[in-house]
Amino acid sequence: MTQIFAHRGSSGMYPENTMRAFKEAEKTGCEGIELDVQRTKDGVLVVIHDEFVNRTTNGRGAVASLTLKEIKELDASYNKKTWFSHNRIPTLDEVFQWLQGNQLICNVELKNNKVRYRGMEEEVLQKIAAFKLDDRIILSSFNHQSIILLHELDPTASIAPIYSKKGVNPLLLATTTHACAVHANYRVMTQAQMESCQRAKVPVRLYTINQEPLLEQWMNMGVSGVITDFPERAMVVRNNL
């Protein structure tokens, strides 16, 4: 069965990477959520996609130039063209604490491919251990050096490199990064590549699949996971297969 991950939470309907979006995703019955991690000026891991707060909040500036106090004053309620209100940027601790009360799998994407947050890999691994979430976290990153480092630091961690370029051999990428899965933009994945991963028992998860025909197509091909902005939609598609 294809697992369904809510991309930045239920971000198609609610403000991305907020507790609201994560809680709404849980209500759909999907298996997991995906979120993005950056680090504040004072060294706190926070859940936000961009390196800057400009797009998703009412503030301005780089996450790395703002303290947690400054970050927490922002309203992170932007959703596409709609403004909700009173949604804060969560810390990774806050999300992990919430995860302790449910059974969701959480795909933590380390956003360390543009800003190089030194020591982020160790910090994330320490938090996973502290919150005892070892068997429910999937770590991923576009930074494949970071993926290799994560494996060196914890060979038992569930780790997946992300890629979006055509021509990448996913099985080779998994092997060279010592990863147990790959996360790819669905546009660059071929059926043949996915089948070679299936034969090697390397799970393939594809992002960001939002349209019903595409969800149905990849689910019918047996993809391990889909990462979608609309988990409730993906649940309906899966139930009707």
User: Catalytic site residues?
Assistant: 7, 49
Query: Which H or E run contains 41?
Result: none
Q: How far is the CB of 147 from Ca ion (least distance, A)?
A: 14
111/19 Cα distance (integer angstroms): 19
Q: How far is the CB of 162 from ligand G3P (least distance, A)?
A: 5
By beta-carbon proximity to ligand G3P, the closer residue of 79 and 140 is: 140
| Angle subtended at Cα 186 by Cα 29 and Cα 223, rounded to the nearest 5 degrees | 55
Q: Beta partners for 137?
A: 106
Q: Which of 148, 119, 127 is nearest to 35 (CA)?
A: 127
Residue list 99-118, contact with Ca ion (CB under 5 A): 109
68/46 Cα distance (integer angstroms): 8
* Site track for ligand G3P across 6-25, x = CB under 6 A: -x------------------
* Residue 88 contacts residue 15 (beta carbons within 8 Å): no
Strand 225-228, strand 182-185: pairing: unpaired
Residue list 177-206, contact with ligand G3P (CB under 6 A): 183
Q: How far is the CB of 60 from Ca ion (least distance, A)?
A: 22
Asked if 16 is part of the footprint of Ca ion (rule: CB under 5 A), the reply reads no
Among 20, 49, 88, 151, binds ligand G3P (CB under 6 A): 49
DSSP 131: T
Asked if 36 is part of the footprint of Ca ion (rule: CB under 5 A), the reply reads yes
CA-based max dimension of the chain: 49
Kindly determine how many residues on this chain lie close enough to bind ligand G3P according to the rule CB under 6 A.
10
**Dihedral sign of CA atoms 174, 179, 181, 185 in order:** negative
By beta-carbon proximity to ligand G3P, the closer residue of 7 and 151 is: 7
* Site track for Ca ion across 60-99, x = CB under 5 A: ----------------------------------------
- DSSP reduced 3-state for 6: strand
Residue 207 interacts with which of Ca ion, ligand G3P, none, CB < 5 to 8 Å by class? ligand G3P
Query: Residue with structure tokens 């060196």?
Result: 152
Residue 227 interacts with which of Ca ion, ligand G3P, none, CB < 5 to 8 Å by class? ligand G3P
Chain contacts with Ca ion (rule: CB under 5 A): 36, 109
Q: Which residues bind ligand G3P (CB under 6 A)?
A: 7, 34, 36, 49, 109, 140, 162, 183, 207, 227
